Amino acid sequence: MPADPRRDPPAAAPGGGAADTPLIRIRGLSKAYRRGEQVIPVLQGIDLDVRRAEFIALMGPSGSGKSTLLNLVAGIDKPDAGRIEIGGVDIARLGESELADWRAAHVGFVFQFYNLMPVLTAFENVELPLLLTGLSRRQRRAHAGAALEMVGLADRVDHYPNELSGGQQQRVAIARALVTDPTLVVADEPTGDLDRTTGEEVLGLMDELHRELGKTIVMVTHDPKAAARAQRLVHLEKGVLVDEPEAAAPGRR
């Protein structure tokens, strides 16, 4: 019988710590948008568990609420109802400043259009999240350098984003996402603006980092190639999780 991703999460990935309690526990999550008089429900009572070091892909047609769910998990939006427990903390209860601090400590972001600061060099972009920690200048520079090396861009540290190709910019973004050693990496269509080859390279990189660093990755994507890299697929339609006949991603260990 195909495993129900909600009730039977797969076995703990290698390198996982307290592998039995899920890292992310979502219960009864609801969100609606108000446009004037109209109230448009986007998410309706979502329950979801994500295990530590799991790499999951959120998929669904446009308007399904997958991006909204991602935003809520990342702590950049607030739900109307429900709980989002990440690492034991219900982030739905946090105030705005606390949420900001929480994101700084726990979340790494990868966006479709890279979202790098055009006026900062690759190095400075990667260093940016470290400014929110208490690290000294020397420590920050060490971490940023290491992150860039990890993504294979040690020779491009002083380039500005407009001097880098799309793939290189996304790699910088990935380095930025990892530099603070976050609990969770959130990716919104990471290959959406890249051609096939470059997309593959970036996905390979994310893959590698998942395996080697054991990061928990939640990714929204349309791209089947990207989805194929994930350990688990979660489908959304009209704001609810739906069962897919083939719940487990094909060919995935």
**Which positions lie near another protein, rule CB under 8 A?**
71, 74, 76-77, 96-97, 100-105, 107, 109, 111, 113, 115, 117-120, 124, 128-129, 131-132
Q: How far is the CB of 104 from another protein (least distance, A)?
A: 3
Residue 30 C-beta: closest distance to another protein, Å:
16
Q: Which is nearer to another protein, 175 or 249 (CB)?
A: 175
How far is 251 from 219, CA to CA, in rounded Å? Answer: 18
Q: How far is it, in rounded angstroms, from Cα 61 to Cα 48?
A: 19
Q: Phi, psi at residue 236, to the nearest 5°? A: -120, 140
Q: Report which of 253, 199, 238 is spatially closest to residue 221, judged by C-alpha positions.
A: 199
Q: Which two tokens stand for residue 238?
A: 């009209």
Minimum distance from CB of 38 to another protein (Å)?
A: 18
Using the minimum distance from each CB to another protein, give the nearer residue, 1 or 119. Answer: 119
**How many Å separate Cα 244 from the centre of its chain?**
22
CB 130 within 8 A of CB 140: yes
Residues 6+ apart with CB under 8 A from 219: 55, 56, 57, 58, 186, 187, 188, 190, 226, 230
Nearer to another protein, 186 or 230 (CB): 186
Backbone angles phi, psi at 39, to 5 degrees: -120, 115
User: What residues contact 167, with CB distance under 8 A and at least 6 apart?
Assistant: 194, 198, 201, 202
Q: 30 or 111: whose CB is closer to another protein? A: 111
Q: Least distance (Å) from another protein to the CB of residue 99?
A: 9
In this complex, which beta carbon is closest to another protein, that of residue 101 or of residue 195? 101
Q: Which is nearer to another protein, 102 or 154 (CB)?
A: 102
Q: How far is the CB of 44 from another protein (least distance, A)?
A: 19
Cα–Cα distance measured from residue 194 to residue 87, given in angstroms and rounded to the nearest whole number = 33
Please state the closest distance from residue 207 (CB atom) to another protein, in A.
24
